[in-house]
Amino acid sequence: MTVLHDANRQLWELSALYEIATLGEKDDPWHLVEEVQEKALRLLGVTQFALALESEGERLVVSWGGIAVGSVSDFEKLGENYFCFEFTRNGIKGFLVLGKGRPLSMSERRLFTVFARHLEMGLQGALNFLYALRYQEGLKRAFLGIAEALVKVVEQRDPYTSGHSVGVAKISEAIGKKMGFSEEEVMGIYVAGILHDVGKVSVPIEILVKPGALNELEMGFIRMHPQAGYEILKGIAFPWPVAEVALQHHERLDGSGYPRGLKGEEICKEARIIAIADVVDAMTHARPYRPPLGIEKALEEIIEGKGRRYDPEVVEAFMECVTEGLSWL
């Protein structure tokens, strides 16, 4: 009977060790802490749990089973009823305390030690991920700040398009969300919308504010602004295809656009989104040579050009946004 009991115990320990080996595969430290509690309860059978962590000035404390979190030395004084493990590696400070309300066996302590060491390794990876994520978020905010600063330069030269870039960005953002783009991709689309016309800084101001129709030479300058925008933006290491969108936002599916006459899949999806947003915002606002045309005319243009000039999938997503009555219309 003892042999069978020992064999079952060893089999259980082996199974527990296998699961413990996966501890720390979570990137998010909060999910990791949830996983630690679940496995401590299910695999180790603990009834008392305390976890205290401190890293880069942040503190996390979780406890249950009647344990009041103090310091690791407080638990060490309690002796054989508790397992205590202090984290000291890679800038992580804190401790793990496990208990069962009774003296712990040597085999339980060995298993708890393996559990704690895997947790320590997992915490480092999860915290590194969190710090990297925060750094990336900071960079994204910085990119957005740069974008907004650049577009103010353009809009100061052309008061008629003041607010146009933000309008395009908001419409594009709504379309991107409707099409199921990830949160990060949607942010990229928004930034690209902000910057799509930055190349207009290369267009003489007399052309931008001219109240009448443009002649062929003047239109030539206008058609150069996507390339100019690309040249301005290509040297900035955006995590999204912002420069490509600036270059392609006047391209059309049938090749009738400019500056390169690209067709179909040659045009990136983000640029196909910006193209529709650009047309809609431009048609619904005044220009030096005409009053606002209104949303009805803009919808006619988009629907009439569906599948020829404009991406059908983007048009469908845009029309769904219109049906939902978004505030920018």
The DSSP line for 96-136 is EEEE-SSPPPHHHHHHHHHHHHHHHHHHHHHHHHHHHHHHH
What is the residue whose two structure tokens read 């590194």? 128
Q: What sign has the CA pseudo-torsion 148, 298, 171, 185?
A: negative
Q: How far apart are CA 244 and CA 223, in angstroms?
A: 16
Q: What is the pLDDT of residues 119-150, one digit of tens each?
A: 777 776 666 666 666 666 766 777 777 777 77
Contact between 102 and 48 (Cβ < 8 Å): no
Alpha-carbon distances, residue 199 vs 196, 257, 258 (angstroms): 8, 17, 14
pLDDT for the residue 1? 44
| Helix axis angle, 183-195 to 106-157, nearest 10° | 20
Outline which parts of the chain fall under CATH 1.10.3210.10. Answer: 158-323
pLDDT for the residue 73? 55
pLDDT for the residue 186? 94
Contact between 298 and 279 (Cβ < 8 Å): yes
The domain made up of 2-130 has a fold known as Beta-Lactamase (3.30.450)
Please provide the CATH number assigned to the domain covering 158-323.
Answer: 1.10.3210.10
Structure-block tokens of residue 256: 């009738």
pLDDT for the residue 76? 57
The segments of the chain whose pLDDT lies below 70 read 1-31, 55-60, 66-79, 90-91, 124-136, 138-139, 160-162, 326-329
pLDDT for the residue 11? 45
Q: How far apart are CA 191 and CA 203, in angstroms?
A: 22
- β-pairing, 82-87 vs 58-64, is unpaired
**Which region, left, alpha or beta, applies to residue 54 given φ > 0 means left and ψ of -120 to 50 means alpha?**
beta
pLDDT for the residue 70? 58
pLDDT for the residue 8? 47
CA 218 vs. chain centroid, Å, equals 40
Planar angle of CA 168, 231, 281, nearest 5 degrees: 15
Outline which parts of the chain fall under CATH 3.30.450.40. Answer: 2-130
Q: How far apart are CA 160 and CA 282, in angstroms?
A: 10
